[in-house]
Copies of this chain bind each other. A is one copy, B any other.
Amino acid sequence: MLSLATSLLWLDLAAVAVFGATGALAAARRKHDIVTFGFFAALTGVGGGTLRDVLIDAPVFWVGRPTYLVACVVAAIVIWFVGWGQGRERVLNWLDALGMAAYTVVGALKALSLGAPPLSAIVMGIMTSTFGGIIRDVLAEQPSILLRREIYVTAALAGAVVFVGLHQIGIAPAIAGSAGFATAFGVRAGAI
């Protein structure tokens, strides 16, 4: 069986890759070159977690462990070869929902583990999960997820509250995290 730490690492890598893929898809909208694909993938993939680490004064997660950058580059290459065409928008939305739900939990968990109060941890979860997409939309000059009349921040908020709330009353991280992930993804899925 995987240990919790190893599972979290894989979850984290998967969320980075999935967010990175949405960044590459945003680049694809304008038929950019492969380098811009990679750049958007990296900015979107690690943007939220970078903000989180800077705010809680932790070493920025990808600087010492470039595996995360590799995950973004791989995501960009995959999107480059198979990514666009019919249904791209839908795929983008679903990938984004998965990444958002995972990042909400990972962001709040890391803040809690470094001693942040619950309310700050909730905000950190929301920022981690939305900031990458905000950067992507601003740089790709798309209407921001914040301005689309859709349930996005609300989904992250719901997931973060469920996770941090369960964690505060002593539920094991794996269970609290799964519940938070399911909540964020479920609320978002209902709006797609």
Interface residues of A (CB under 8 A from B): 30, 32-33, 35-36, 39-40, 42, 50, 54-57, 59-60, 62-64, 66, 69-70, 111, 116-117, 119-120, 123-124, 126, 134, 138-141, 143-144, 146-147, 149, 153-154, 157
Contacts and interface: CB of A to CB of B under 8 A. Distances in A.
Contact of A36 (B40, B62, B146): B146
Nearest to A131: B43
Contacts of A39: 126, 146, 153
A125 to B, nearest CB: 13
A30 B39 CA distance: 30
Given A42-B123, A147-B140, A154-B35, A63 B69 contact: no
Contacts of A138: 138-139
Contacts of A60: 55-57
A63 B55 CA distance: 8
A50 B162 CA distance: 26
Contacts of A36: 146, 153
Contacts of A55: 50, 54, 60, 63
For the complex of A and B, 6 pairs with smallest distance between CB atoms? A66-B119, A35-B154, A63-B120, A39-B153, A55-B60, A66-B120
